Amino acid sequence: MQNDLAVSMIITAWKGQNKKLDEMIASYGDEQWRKETSPGRNTGYYLLGHLAAVNDHIIQLLGLGNRLHPELEEPFLKKPDRSGTPSQSIAELKACWKEINDFLYGRIAAMQPADWFEPHTAVSAEDFAKEPHRNKLNILISRTVHQGYHLGQLTYLK
Amino acid sequence: MQNDLAVSMIITAWKGQNKKLDEMIASYGDEQWRKETSPGRNTGYYLLGHLAAVNDHIIQLLGLGNRLHPELEEPFLKKPDRSGTPSQSIAELKACWKEINDFLYGRIAAMQPADWFEPHTAVSAEDFAKEPHRNKLNILISRTVHQGYHLGQLTYLK
């Protein structure tokens, strides 16, 4: 019972961070997304692609299927901002973000509390036996904090 | 068992964010703390006091005692940056941060997993009966994300 509650609290926290980005998407214009969050730092555009790519990766880490937009990995995860010219438009990144989250929300709703304590897909059985915290729930905790980190920067586009 | 694990994962996540600020404290000079994290935005100094004040408030919310530094509330929680001239020096804020966390770490280590599912001290019994997620664990989840948010800004002082 408490176990269910802890899981649902973490899912709620993660969704809360997603919702904050949804609100920025609803309110920022293209000009704002193109701006740097601080002089010489990541642009809003890059962080939007980055957060979409990170959520896309969650699909794989939770074993819910293949990523929906693996093309985001190279420009928004592997490479830093301004290292190339990503082909995605701001509108396309917003659409990816929505598609990825709609998919995740549906699949996460079907998960049972105990599922969250299973190993995520990037940990070996051996490592998991020694480090049981490397489970699916921890993916969501770390990604929630990661979103908070970049939302703190994206708020500077206001 | 899973319940204990979820609680310990959240405590670890919270401590991880504290540690990141510890690392900034160890590496940033006074000049960096005095800078704005982005033009016209919060200074490092203000955010340092703010994060110390928020952790101080956790002591009270978890029912672990009175805040150690209630004098931080007015300048770093109630008022925004540059609304006055806080009397604390950077060195004093760093000392508060350490003292508050040392206290919290000791008291949290003595808490049992089930304690985290009790209501925090700012929720009424009536509200808690309807909203059992308003517990002590949720305080730590929300404060962890909040720390992430400001750490994303403080990294711009580098």
Q: What is the tens place of the pLDDT at every residue in A69-96? A: 999 999 999 999 988 888 899 999 999 9
Residue A10 with chain B: CB contacts under 8 Å: 6, 10, 141
A145 at B interface, C-beta within 8 A? yes
pTM, entire model:
0.96
> Which of B43, B149, B153 to mutate to probe the A interface, most A CBs <10 Å?
B149
- Say if residue B94's pLDDT is above 70: yes
Closest CA to B72 of B60, B62, B63: B60
pLDDT score of B129: 96
| Contact of B72 with B49, CB cutoff 8 Å | yes
- Averaged pLDDT for residues B151-155: 98
Tell if the CB–CB gap between B133 and A17 is shorter than 8 Å: no
pLDDT score of B1: 61
Residue B144 with chain A: CB contacts under 8 Å: 145
pLDDT score of A25: 98
A132 at B interface, C-beta within 8 A? yes
Identity of residue B41: R
B112 at A interface, C-beta within 8 A? no
Q: In chain A, positions 19-48, which contact chain B (CB-CB < 8 Å)?
A: 37-39, 41
Task: Using the structure block, give the residue that is written with the tokens 């804020």.
Answer: B93
Task: Give CA–CA dist B20/A68, Å, rounded.
Answer: 32
Task: Give CA–CA dist A99/B150, Å, rounded.
Answer: 28
pLDDT in tens, B14-49: 999 999 999 999 999 999 999 999 999 999 999 999
* Whether complex ipTM tops 0.90: yes
